[in-house]
Structure 1
Amino acid sequence: MIIINNKYNSQRDFIRSIPHIIENEGTLIQDARNLIKQLVMPDGMEINVKRYHAPRWLNILVYSLSLRQPKGLRAYKYAGILQSKGISTPEPIAYLEERKAHILRLSYFISAQCPYRHDFYELGDAPAALYEPIVAPFAQFTAHIHDQGVLHRDFSPGNILWQQTDDGEYHFTIVDINRMYFGHVDINRGCANFARLWGPKRFIIMIVREYARLRHFDPDEAERIALTHRAAFWQRFSRRHPIKFHLEL
């Protein structure tokens, strides 16, 4: 199965060959459960290829029988939905999947390579001079996403990329979008969405209170909800993993 954004039909032959190309070519970004590589198409465009690992156990049936759409297909479709709502995410280029006897093996989501070089991991122990200018534009970015009836269910530091332009403006985009919620985002859902972010407690509070102002929520209640979910998340996380920034709950 192959789905190609009409804008990139001229690159169809190259796109079809990507499963073979990434075995030996491309710049490695991640090689863990899923493989992510950066490639350059024949027309010079930089693209991002994410290969999702073969499903296991019960998920083999779930995905192979189309009881649930494969992650790569969801990412491709969701990217189009987000862009139609004015939410920044890399442009979807194609989706490919490999099956054997109708059993889903590997799937691929291909998108434009995002030029933003910063993520929220960098803000874990950031000084106020670095994080304060980000507060208002990031709160506005998140409020817009939620106002559009969209919630990223993995709103974590590595999935939020940002860049500051030469004129001082901040721009953000979201990646790894195969897990999304579409529907009304109320104060509880919205404020809980900040739980996984890295950064000083004051930074998180400033974001949440500005977000509450933009969405006409009570700022004190928004702060309470956000910090409650933040504490619960990081307490669970710390039982299994070391925390790599100074965490103040």
Structure 2
Amino acid sequence: MSLKFVVSPAFSAYSDAVRKCIQNFWSTGKVLASGRNTIRIFDIDGLQVNIKAFKLPNLVNRFAYSYFRKSKAQRSFEFATKLLQMGIGTPKPIAYSEHTNWSGLRESFYASEHLDAKLTYRELVEIPDYPDRDNILRQFTRFSYKLHELGIEFKDHSPGNTLILEDAPGQYSFYLVDLNRMEFHDKMPFELRMKNLSRLTPHKEMVATMSNEYAKASAEDETVIFETLWRLTAAFQHRFHRKRRLKKKFLFRK
């Protein structure tokens, strides 16, 4: 088996320790999330390291990731580095590792500095009376507008993929996670900007608040923003729930 390990120069002193954590990933560390991908937290001399193990790709992708496309781990590492250079928050990238054999990519891991965030956008969706909710939502919208102005299309801009930290009373900072699907544009057209926000919430009142704040930031017409964003949100929700119904029906028949 061939092994590839790349570490950020900023964390070169931790290189051997991080490599060891990856080698022993499945038997050590504290599980943070499991399922399609697995995330474990490791303590290295007081540094909290978040390591994500991506699921085994299918046979076609194993080959593609080995010869034609960058792996999800490599893309996460490189996109995180680029985001920080552009002034966008994301946990600091530490390293990535790829394990390949004759069939192509077998395992890949992405290590980053762990942020202990208790809040994501998801809580704003699920808890209508969350403290300071309107203010957080408006600051999040400003953050999203900044992404769009920089030409950053975060394709997984969904409720659980932005960590939110309170820096001071009423002041929040935002950190993108799950970075392997991103695209960078010279300029993002209006429809693409609205589509980028359409997966965040099914609640019309949240869409209205975001439309109001986006209009303030962009000087675009608020009514046009709301009508476009709500149309795209409703279309996404329709596809999402239809897919779930079909999946449930298929599983029931099995």
Describe the shift of the 1:147–1:97 C-alpha distance in structure 2 as closer, same or farther (beyond 3 A): same
Alignment of 1:153-168 (within 5 A): 153-168=155-170
CA contact (8 A) 2:215 2:222 kept: yes
CA distance in 2, matches of 1:83, 1:225: 30
Of 111-120 and 233-242, more deviation after overlay is shown by 233-242
Long gaps (5+) in structure 2: 246-254
Q: Which amino acid aligns with 2:206?
A: F
Cα deviation, 1:126-146, whole Å, max 9, x if unaligned, reads: 336642121321111111111
User: 1:52 maps to which residue?
Assistant: 54
User: 1:30 maps to which residue?
Assistant: 33
Say which SS state the counterpart of residue 121 (structure 1) adopts.
Answer: helix
CA distance in 2, matches of 1:81, 1:14: 25
Q: Which amino acid aligns with 1:110?
A: A
In the TM superposition, structure 1's runs of 4+ consecutive aligned residues that sit over 6 Å from their partners are: none
User: 1:147 maps to which residue?
Assistant: 149
CA contact (8 A) 2:124 2:130 kept: no
CA distance in 1, matches of 2:214, 2:25: 41
Which has a greater percent of helix?
A: 2
User: 2:97 maps to which residue?
Assistant: 96
Q: What root-mean-square deviation, in Å, do the aligned CA atoms of Structure 1 and Structure 2 show?
A: 1.7
User: 1:63 maps to which residue?
Assistant: 65
Count of aligned pairs? 240
Describe the shift of the 1:125–1:100 C-alpha distance in structure 2 as closer, same or farther (beyond 3 A): closer
CA contact (8 A) 2:202 2:237 kept: no
> How much does 1:102 deviate?
7.0
% same residue = 29
Which of residues 201, 210, 231 in structure 1 aligns to 2:234? 231
CA distance in 2, matches of 1:107, 1:129: 37
> How much does 1:116 deviate?
1.6
User: 1:115 maps to which residue?
Assistant: 116
Say which SS state the counterpart of residue 57 (structure 2) adopts.
Answer: coil
**Structure-1-length-normalised TM-score:** 0.90
CA contact (8 A) 2:138 2:213 kept: yes
CA distance in 1, matches of 2:129, 2:139: 15
User: 1:240 maps to which residue?
Assistant: 243
Alignment of 1:210-221 (within 5 A): 210-221=213-224
Q: Which amino acid aligns with 2:66?
A: S
Describe the shift of the 1:14–1:125 C-alpha distance in structure 2 as closer, same or farther (beyond 3 A): closer
Long gaps (5+) in structure 1: 243-249
CA distance in 1, matches of 2:80, 2:103: 26
